[in-house]
Structure 1
Amino acid sequence: MIIDPKQQSKKDNYKLLIGSVLPRPIAFVTSLGPNGTLNAAPFSFFNVVGTQPPLLAFSCIRKPGGVMKDTARNILEHGEFVVHVVDGNNVAMVNDTSIDFPPEESEAEAVGFTPVPSEAVKVPGLKEAKIRMECRLYRHFVLGGTDEEPDCDHLIGEVVLFHIDDALCDGGRIDTVALDPVGRLAGTTYVRLGEMFSMPRLSYGEWREKTNGA
């Protein structure tokens, strides 16, 4: 089957993307609204994009009519946000923050998260996350759509401070099993850790030797 994305709707392309690019990590992002309300929202168009400095990026798909989502607007106004890792203990509450709460109400607090002060940014973090990363806005790009109705806001943040549960750290590495990360699949489906396996990365010489020069 060959599908031309230009010959189908945005919704249909979206379905193909989220059903093909998976599992996707989830950025659970807190930001400050215009009146100081703590906004929280999950985004699965998310990944690491740099290490020096450490950079995270996520995309906020705009609402109908090209209207910017609260998270993107808040970050552009204040230049700061906090990214939390979603895990098996907090995923139910994270999912509940996707409910369409009124702008003046904090989703995070409404569903049971506990705000805690950050150290390098003004945006609070959430106590229930085993990993959270304080970020400052590094770059913002408006992508896709038209000039009148852009498709999304792509936000890149520089991590200025890591908060990691002591139980997760071992020699500077994260214990993946203890973290119990949760990712997104298609639709409303999430995924936890399944079978894990390791494969060595061979040098070219090692690969030639292993394959007998084939």
Structure 2
Amino acid sequence: MPSIDSDSQSAQDNYKLLIGSILPRPIAFVTTLSEDGVLNAAPFSFFNIVSADPPMVSISVQRKNGEQKDTARHAGKRREFVVHIADETYIEAINETAVPVPSHVSEVELAGLTPVPSDKIAVPGVAEARIRLECVLEQSIPLGGREGAPSCDLLLGRVVRFHVDDTLYENGRIDPDALRPISRLAGDDYAKLGERFTLVRPV
């Protein structure tokens, strides 16, 4: 079994090992609002739950050449964003929003998605998502890289409103088979929910 020292190889090589090992990864499709009122959107697979009390999620937004991406910059200034859960019904549109475009271009409009007002924050969501989470920014933490030049921004968001489609929701629970979530693998590969099994936790 190879034993690889992370300090002995490039960040790109470490990235390949991480995304090839830690999978499947859930995808957060995040909308933010620029200072000029442009609705930006992008998918992120460095995403997970942080806490249930209060409900909090984390999204790691990688920087490009040391510069913050629109999502981290807008979330940091407005302190609000919306997380949508990626599913089979609109994954092609989500993929279209990953195209690099100038900040004044709305990826939501570019992908033909439908903005929908949020209830408790100013940032709109998209109607195509069957689960969306209105979030306020708890913290934005620059991490990694080297001193004075972080490689990512860790966004910690507190969920202030859940929106769940009626077809997914029953007795306080979400039906994963009805949701048909999409997860990220490595390269250009994605995965569907696949076969499920049950293990009872020991007591």
Whether these two folds match at TM > 0.5 is yes
Aligned to 1:182: 182
Aligned to 1:211: none
Q: 1:116-171, CA deviations, whole angstroms, 9 ceiling, x for partnerless residues?
A: 00010000000000000000001121111112321110010000000000110111
Range with greater deviation from structure 2 (78-87 or 141-150): 141-150
Distance 1:179 1:107 in 2: 24
Aligned to 2:116: 116
Aligned partner of residue 40 in structure 1, secondary structure = strand
Aligned partner of residue 156 in structure 1, secondary structure = strand
Structure whose CA Rg is larger: 1
Aligned to 1:173: 173
Identity of aligned residues (%): 52
Letter of the aligned partner of 2:182 in structure 1? Answer: V
The 5 Å alignment of 1:67-86 reads: 67-86=67-86
| Residues paired across the two proteins, number | 202
List structure 1 segments (4+ residues) > 6 angstroms apart after TM superposition: none
Aligned to 1:126: 126
Aligned partner of residue 88 in structure 1, secondary structure = coil
Larger % of helix: which? 1
Aligned partner of residue 16 in structure 1, secondary structure = helix
Aligned partner of residue 186 in structure 2, secondary structure = coil
Aligned partner of residue 142 in structure 1, secondary structure = strand
TM-score by length of 1: 0.93
Distance 1:141 1:101 in 2: 25
Aligned partner of residue 146 in structure 1, secondary structure = coil
Letter of the aligned partner of 2:28 in structure 1? Answer: A
Letter of the aligned partner of 2:31 in structure 1? Answer: T
Q: 1:94-117, CA deviations, whole angstroms, 9 ceiling, x for partnerless residues?
A: 011000122111001111100000
Q: CA deviation at 1:34?
A: 2.1
Range with greater deviation from structure 2 (175-184 or 104-113): 104-113
Aligned to 2:194: 194
The answer as to 2:46 corresponding to 1:33 is no
Aligned to 2:157: 157
Distance 1:144 1:202 in 2: 38
Aligned to 1:61: 62
Letter of the aligned partner of 1:185 in structure 2? Answer: L
Unaligned ranges ≥5, structure 1: 204-214
